[in-house]
Structure 1
Amino acid sequence: MATNASESQYVTFGLDDECFAVPVEVVREILDHEDVFRIPHGPDYLLGLRDVRGQGVPVIDLRLRLGMSGMAKTTHTRVLVIDVPIAGRLLTLGLVADRVFEVASFQKDAVEGAPDIGVRWSSEYISGVVRRNGGFVVIIDLGRLFTGADVTSLVAGPQARSA
Structure 2
Amino acid sequence: MNGIELVLRALHHGEHHLAGELSAVAERHRAEHEVHHVATDLAAWSHEHVRLLSDTARTRGLDLDGAPDPSSAGLLMTRSRTDAPDAKEPGLLLLRDLCELHLAATRNSLYWVMLAQAAQAGKEGELLELASSCHPRTLRQLRWSNSLIKVLSPQTLNSL
TM-score, normalised relative to structure 2: 0.29
Higher helix share: 2
TM-score, normalised relative to structure 1: 0.28
